[in-house]
Amino acid sequence: MRAIDYFDRGHDRDPERPCLIDDASGETLSFAQVRALTIRIAAALHAAGFRDQQPIALYGPNSATMMVALLAIWRANGQWVPVNTRNAIDANAAYLDYVRCGWLFYHSSQAADVAALKARVPSLTHFICLDRPHDGDPSLDQFIRDSEVDSLPDFSDPFGKPDDVVGLFPTGGTTGPSKGVVVTNLGWGTMIETLAQAVDGKCDSPVSLVVAPITHAAGPVALATLSLGATQIILPGFDATAVLGAIARYRVSHIYLPPTALYTLLDAPELAGSDTKSLKFFLLVGSAVSPEKLRRAVDIFGPCLCQAYGQVESPMIVTWLPPEDVAAAAAGDRPERLASCGRPTRSVTVAIMDEDGRLLPDGEAGELVVRGVLVSREYYEMPDATAEVRTHGWHHTGDVARRDKDGYLYIVDRKKDMVVSGGFNVFTAEVEAAVTELPAVRECAVIGIPHEKWGEAVHAIVVADNIGETEIISHAKARLGGVKAPKSVAFVSAIPRTAAGKMDKKALRAAYWTGARMVN
């Protein structure tokens, strides 16, 4: 099916049910109202010259209007180009130019960035300001004022247009310019159906909180829960007090957050008095979760915590660790599974591979590789890069993992983040998990730094309160042994992050390496 068909499935359950509630503005739209708006916007786009399967971008903070615009892109059979407003303007301009994006929906709060994009991206020729007329661009209300909804073509076919492109999604770009990941309806629909199936049930009237950026993982999570008929509560951004208040006020049943946001919630003073009993699924995606903090989260939020693993090229739900597995592990039944990202979903085949393309048995660490319709079609106009990531007939994730005898997978590192010290491979995620067991440690990033004898030495960069280097090293040595334990610790007020919210280990390593063998 097409992306918009999943929204329509949710609409058909109860057209009058609240669909979008914008917490900042107080606006509430029913499923019927959202559907009507998306049809009007899509019709106006085509009347203004928009072509079938043309790239179209969104640029702005979370809002109900932003979500409507995203759904309208799919209604018009456009190719969604997500743009992260936290990126440097140079990176966003380069990406929009690379995919030859011609249309942009934006919010007036981003006017300065949009002015720069207008000057630097020749392909961008059509602009619609979501909230008001600006700089000669119509507001969304003006743009759709005279739209004739009967003129909108039916873009589907008996098969749901499986090969049409639903989006051109940028990779993280931490080692160079972002590559465009071409995602088709077939792969996107597989992800939506797999995720929706995983988070269905346990709730007759689902309410989902949208707080992470819609232009990142929150967009597909919202579409998956919309297909279940879930009301979406939209916050403009993450604030621990606002999130806890929204959960209680709206009786939120489903929430997605990256692990770093979970950690902030756990440290929020308001948490002790907050009512979070309505939560049925608290989904963590985006990076590894500290097992100790996950255990603490189960104690506080109850048996609702769950995890998924994926990446842009094989999105969201390659593996799934359900709430019951997390709760059991937190209670002491197979506690090691708190460090697992779960077992492969029905949508993919997953294996562990060595450098020579040999598939490895249980217990051995190697690169996690994937096959199945969830895997994206290609990198946009990059055949060599596509071929490189598909060697030996598998999609290569770049993540090092191992599998236990029960099929549970454990991500132990990114290949480029692994520290080689004295000939021994040290997986940084394992060291970070050990260090964050200490209650005083809020966050930890582990990198390799130059060492004359060992080549690289394990170095921990820590955000913590009232704890010293000796205590951290001693704890890690007791847990992991002398090779893996940090040889040094640096204390910082915050760990730098990429625009996608992940630890920026490239930036951390740059402070210690002057060229030579630094891994980018």
d(CA 152, CA 414): 46
What tokens does 458 get?
Answer: 């394990």
The structural architecture, per CATH, of the domain 3-237 is: 3-Layer(aba) Sandwich (3.40)
Kindly tell me if the per-residue pLDDT of 334 is higher than 90. yes
The closest of 367, 340, 373, 344 to 354, measured between CA atoms, is 367
Mean pLDDT of the chain: 92
pLDDT on residue 509: 87
How confident is residue 520, by pLDDT bands cut at 50, 70 and 90?
A: very low
Kindly tell me if the per-residue pLDDT of 176 is higher than 80. no
Portion of the chain with pLDDT greater than 70, in percent: 97
In sequence order, which residues have a C-beta less than 8 Å from that of residue 475 and are 6 or more positions away?
Answer: 434, 435, 437, 438
d(CA 479, CA 432): 12
Q: Looking at per-residue confidence, does 396 or 218 come out higher?
A: 396
Q: What is the mean pLDDT of residues 108-133?
A: 96
Q: What is the mean pLDDT of residues 461-470?
A: 94
pLDDT on residue 411: 87
Kindly tell me if the per-residue pLDDT of 73 is higher than 60. yes
pLDDT on residue 516: 46
Q: What is the mean pLDDT of residues 68-73?
A: 97
Kindly tell me if the per-residue pLDDT of 140 is higher than 80. yes
pLDDT on residue 172: 67
pLDDT on residue 174: 45
pLDDT on residue 87: 82
Kindly tell me if the per-residue pLDDT of 519 is higher than 70. no
CATH node for 418-510: 3.30.300.30
Over the stretch 241-269, which tens digit does the pLDDT of each residue have? 999 999 999 999 999 998 888 989 999 99
In DSSP terms, 491 is beta-bridged to 462
Burial of 387 (0-12, 13-18, 19+ CB in 10 A): exposed
What tokens does 186 get?
Answer: 């077939």
Q: What is the mean pLDDT of residues 452-474?
A: 91
- Residues present in the chain in total: 520
d(CA 243, CA 486): 35
Residue found under tokens 């309160």: 465
Domain residue ranges in the chain:
3-237, 418-510
DSSP classification of residue 392: G
Kindly tell me if the per-residue pLDDT of 424 is higher than 80. no
Residues 21/231, Cβ–Cβ less than 8 Å: yes
How confident is residue 132, by pLDDT bands cut at 50, 70 and 90?
A: very high
What tokens does 358 get?
Answer: 């040999």
Q: What is the mean pLDDT of residues 38-48?
A: 96
In DSSP terms, 503 is beta-bridged to 497
pLDDT on residue 456: 86
The full DSSP string for 267-323 is T-GGGGG---TT-SEEEE-SS---HHHHHHHHHHH-TTEEEEEEETTEEEEEEEE-H
Over the stretch 472-485, which tens digit does the pLDDT of each residue have? 999 999 888 888 89
d(CA 11, CA 229): 7
Q: What is the mean pLDDT of residues 482-491?
A: 92
d(CA 67, CA 61): 10
Q: What is the mean pLDDT of residues 93-117?
A: 96
In sequence order, which residues have a C-beta less than 8 Å from that of residue 341 and are 6 or more positions away?
Answer: 288, 307, 308, 309, 319, 321, 409, 410, 411
The closest of 77, 81, 71, 87 to 101, measured between CA atoms, is 81
Kindly tell me if the per-residue pLDDT of 518 is higher than 60. no
